[in-house]
Amino acid sequence: MSLAGRHLVSIKDLSDAEIEAVLALAEEMEASLTQARHTSLCQGRIMATLFYEPSTRTRLSFEAAMLRLGGRVIGFAEAATASSAAKGESIADALRVLGGYADVVVMRHPQDGSTRLAAEHCAVPLISGGDGGHEHPTQTLLDLYTIRREHGYIQGQRVAFLGDLLHARTMHSLAYGLARLGAQIVCIAPQELRFPRYVLEDLRLYGCNPEEHSLEEPTLDASFWQSLDALYVTRLQRERFSRPEELAALEGSYRITPRTLEHLRRDALILHPLPRTTEVDPAVDGDPRAAYFRQAAYGMPVRMALIALLLGLAKVETGEPPQAHPSEEHPNLECSNPRCITRSEPYAPHRFYRTQGGGAPRCYYCDYYTEAAHA
Ligand code: NCD
């Protein structure tokens, strides 16, 4: 099997071998940038970028990647107001149309599960640039690339997640990727911002039991910080809080400063998907361990590799693609997630699956449980 013609909506859509294949081709793409190779690989192909939510790096690195491969780009940066979504057009109709104009579509949308629904109506490969607070698979590819590029390998790396683990889609997808590739995951978050239950369940199914710490714990001493290979930080995802008082209570609750760096090993990496707000002091930027701007730059070769593979213009043999859990429609069941796309697109089927871990059925689009108590 190859990746040609496939959608990428969750990091779970790729097998471990397929992730490795993207990273390997990304290395070649990175090298090709200085040698001006692959500059006509995508000649005659069009990428559509359909962004219903703000973006700097994801959209522009995808567009730069396509242009560097000799392809062309069309799209919207403010799809919610600048596209027919403002006139009430459904996601399904928008994608049915775009699939006829472009060879590959990149889409970002504020609702969880939106990109999975979109892919069902898109005749060409659809790549998610982030769906609400759910997943962000291409950020994960570049995060994994960064760790491998800077440290040489992923298996056994001890990676701490600091920040808004509840809402940060980059952290959900990255945790899955790291768990599958054999890294250790350490969570450091205020109680209110721990990983959602569904993420923790999936990590356990991958055989990964993340270590969980709160920020105030006395165990977060010098030896704890010394044990880390990488520290992955995110901003508070302000736009995903439904109650302003909850957000206000958490503002400024964590921050990386030059003092934090005193405890980290000399080869540790500080990673951040960006944008940063107050959680990383700019005084840290000059330290070679601050890898976030290098990480953002790796986004382009990684996305070049992904585009080439999904368009079938670079071929790799990667074995069988991963099997999704079998799912079924249950029109009378509701997803418990108020931000799920099935709540706002009335034609979206109520489709659910169960994991081998038991528990309540889970939404096929956003992975939440049918019962709020499990969310
Ligand atoms: C992230 C995103 O949009 O989820 N940014 C990105 O894609 N690099 C992180 C964030 O917004 O905090």
Query: ∠295-284-226 over CA atoms, to 5°?
Result: 85
- Please enumerate in sequence order all residues whose Cβ is within 8 A of that of 206, keeping only pairs 6 or more positions apart, or say none: 176, 179, 180
Mean pLDDT of the chain, nearest integer: 94
Residue pLDDT, tens place only, 218-229? 778 889 999 999
Mean pLDDT in residue range 303-316: 95
Mean pLDDT in residue range 80-100: 89
pLDDT at 79 over 80: no
Return the pLDDT at 213: 94
Return the pLDDT at 372: 64
Return the pLDDT at 271: 98
197 a catalytic residue: no
238 a catalytic residue: no
Options 49, 58, 146, 370, the catalytic residue: 58
108 a catalytic residue: yes
Q: Report percent pLDDT > 90 for the chain.
A: 86
For residue 133, report the distance from its CA to the centre of ligand 1, in Å: 10
Q: Cα separation of 67 and 88, whole Å? A: 32
Q: 338, 375 in Cβ contact below 8 A?
A: no
pLDDT at 178 over 90: yes
- Name the pLDDT band for 374 (thresholds 50, 70, 90): low
Q: Which atom of ligand 1 is nearest to the CA of 235?
A: 12
Q: Which atom of ligand 1 is nearest to the CA of 58?
A: 7
Q: Which two tokens stand for residue 162?
A: 């600091």
- Please enumerate in sequence order all residues whose Cβ is within 8 A of that of 259, keeping only pairs 6 or more positions apart, or say none: none
Q: Cα separation of 109 and 345, whole Å? A: 13
Q: Cα separation of 199 and 172, whole Å? A: 7
339 a catalytic residue: no
Mean pLDDT in residue range 9-26: 97
Angstrom CA distances, 326 to 4, 54, 218, stand at 23, 34, 44
CA-nearest residue for atom 6, ligand 1, is 273
Mean pLDDT in residue range 258-280: 96
Whether ligand 1 lies within 6 angstroms of the CB of 132 is answered as no
pTM for this predicted structure: 0.97
Neighbours of 276 (CB within 10 A): 17
Q: Cα separation of 216 and 236, whole Å? A: 18
Q: Which two tokens stand for residue 30?
A: 């990175």
Closest residue by Cα to residue 165 from 118, 244, 234: 234
Q: 183, 153 in Cβ contact below 8 A?
A: no
pLDDT at 375 over 70: no
